[in-house]
């Protein structure tokens, strides 16, 4: 799009290049005219000859074939007058792909926004109980979320399972909605250089011990002080994680990248970086609200705490 090129040079560059190409093709086509043979006159044999008896003659191209080339040139010239294509020239019809796209979006909004907006005034938990809302949320999920989390929302390596009760940032309705709307960026720093190969293996075994997985007790004992010095700031002294930072709980058996000793060593050595893209601008608040309700209702969503009863009057 020429809107991306502010300098007039680029507009003239495209105009000159396009017009020169059309003129060049026309001149080439004109130069290739061949005199038509008179009645009874035989075509001349050119110098080229292949496979013994395959020869090239100077017969002219059929008229209908040549005319097709001219028609395409005329069509190109008319198109470039009517529609944008010559640099910043917008064409006499004033058509733009931006205008067509915006018109189609406005038409779709007028038709579908009332359907999505009917749930905006309801809490996420209430929306999740509606069969109609669940169906709409599922279609949105399959369109925008299944590529990473899977069509069944059980996730994959590096992408969280949304059907269990294990949440990096929290599983209440509003937190899920915030995650979808604004996205999340997680970062596990690489500690391999700081710990060294032996220290990394010791910490990995200590991490395995936190969830009761098979581990080397001696290495785990040596890894505990290293964990407290390098990892507890994010994962907590007890290894149960910190939702405010998205630091995972290391005491359960849920692993985003894998829970073997080799994978944990790789995670500690190289670190991890995860990104959940923000969806609010692309989808709008109503669709985000429906998606949050669908995800919350998959089975792992945490119910909001009941409101405290008002104190009795004295």
The token pair at 176 is 């899920």
Range with the lowest mean pLDDT among 40-54, 198-212, 253-267? 40-54
Q: What is the pLDDT at residue 123?
A: 94
The segment(s) of the chain belonging to CATH 1.10.760.10 are 186-276
| Position with higher pLDDT, 156 vs 63 | 156
Quick one: average pLDDT of 162-175? 94
| CB 116, CB 132: distance < 8 Å | no
The token pair at 236 is 């907590």
What is the C-alpha separation between 259 and 55, in angstroms, rounded? Answer: 73
Q: What is the pLDDT at residue 3?
A: 53
What percent of the chain is predicted at pLDDT more than 90?
Answer: 67
Task: Kindly list the distances between the CA atom of residue 129 and the CA atoms of 125, 141, 144, in Å, as whole numbers in the listed order.
Answer: 7, 17, 21
Range with the lowest mean pLDDT among 27-31, 120-124, 201-205? 27-31
- 228 φ, ψ to 5°? -60, -35
β-bridge mates for residue 49, sequence order:
55
Is the pLDDT assigned to residue 49 strictly greater than 90? no
Is the pLDDT assigned to residue 308 strictly greater than 60? no
- Sign, CA dihedral 3-8-9-12, equals positive
Q: What is the pLDDT at residue 33?
A: 73
What average pLDDT does the chain have? 89
pLDDT tens digits for range 5-23: 567 888 899 999 999 999 9
Q: What is the pLDDT at residue 311?
A: 53
- Indicate the pLDDT class of residue 314, thresholds 50, 70 and 90: very low
Quick one: average pLDDT of 120-149? 95
Is the pLDDT assigned to residue 61 strictly greater than 80? no
**How many of the other CB atoms lie within 10 Å of CB of 17?**
11
- Indicate the pLDDT class of residue 37, thresholds 50, 70 and 90: low
Q: What is the pLDDT at residue 171?
A: 93
Range with the lowest mean pLDDT among 79-83, 86-90, 255-259? 86-90
Assign 38 to helix, strand or coil: coil
Sequence-ordered list of residues with C-beta below 8 angstroms from that of 142, at least 6 positions apart, any chain: 151
Query: Distance between terminal CA atoms of the chain?
Result: 71
Is the pLDDT assigned to residue 136 strictly greater than 90? yes
DSSP class of 156: B
β-bridge mates for residue 184, sequence order:
276
CATH architecture of 186-276: Orthogonal Bundle (1.10)
Is the pLDDT assigned to residue 249 strictly greater than 80? yes
- Indicate the pLDDT class of residue 31, thresholds 50, 70 and 90: confident
pLDDT tens digits for range 258-305: 999 999 999 999 999 999 999 999 999 999 999 999 999 998 888 765
Q: What is the pLDDT at residue 313?
A: 47
């Amino acid at each position: 799009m020429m809107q991306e090129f502010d300098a007039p040079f680029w507009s003239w560059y495209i105009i000159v290049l396009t017009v020169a190409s059309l003129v060049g093709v026309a001149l080439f086509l004109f130069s290739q005219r061949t005199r038509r043979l008179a009645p009874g006159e035989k075509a001349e044999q050119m110098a080229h000859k292949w496979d013994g008896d395959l020869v090239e003659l100077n017969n002219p191209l059929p008229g209908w074939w040549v005319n097709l080339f001219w028609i395409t040139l005329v069509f190109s010239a008319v198109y470039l007058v009517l529609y944008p294509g010559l640099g910043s020239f917008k064409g006499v019809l004033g058509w733009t792909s931006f205008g067509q796209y915006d018109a189609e979006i406005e038409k779709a909004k007028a038709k579908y926004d009332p359907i999505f907006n009917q749930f905006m005034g309801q809490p996420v938990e209430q929306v999740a109980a509606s069969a109609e809302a669940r169906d709409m949320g599922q279609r949105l999920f399959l369109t925008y979320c299944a590529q990473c989390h899977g069509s069944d929302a059980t996730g994959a390596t590096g992408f969280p399972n949304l059907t269990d009760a294990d949440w990096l940032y929290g599983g209440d309705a509003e937190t899920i909605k915030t995650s979808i709307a604004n996205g999340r960026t997680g970062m596990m720093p690489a500690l391999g250089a700081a710990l060294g190969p032996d220290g990394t293996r010791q910490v990995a075994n200590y991490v395995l011990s936190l969830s009761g997985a098979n581990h080397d007790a001696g290495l785990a004992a040596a890894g505990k002080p290293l964990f407290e010095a390098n990892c507890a700031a994010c994962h907590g002294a007890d290894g149960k994680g910190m939702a405010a930072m998205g630091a995972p709980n290391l005491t359960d058996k849920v692993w985003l990248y894998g829970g073997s000793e080799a994978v944990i060593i790789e995670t500690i050595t190289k670190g991890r970086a995860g990104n959940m893209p923000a969806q609010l601008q692309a989808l709008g608040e109503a669709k985000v609200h429906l998606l949050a309700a669908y995800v919350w209702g998959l089975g792992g969503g945490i119910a909001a705490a009941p409101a405290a009863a008002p104190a009795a009057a004295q």
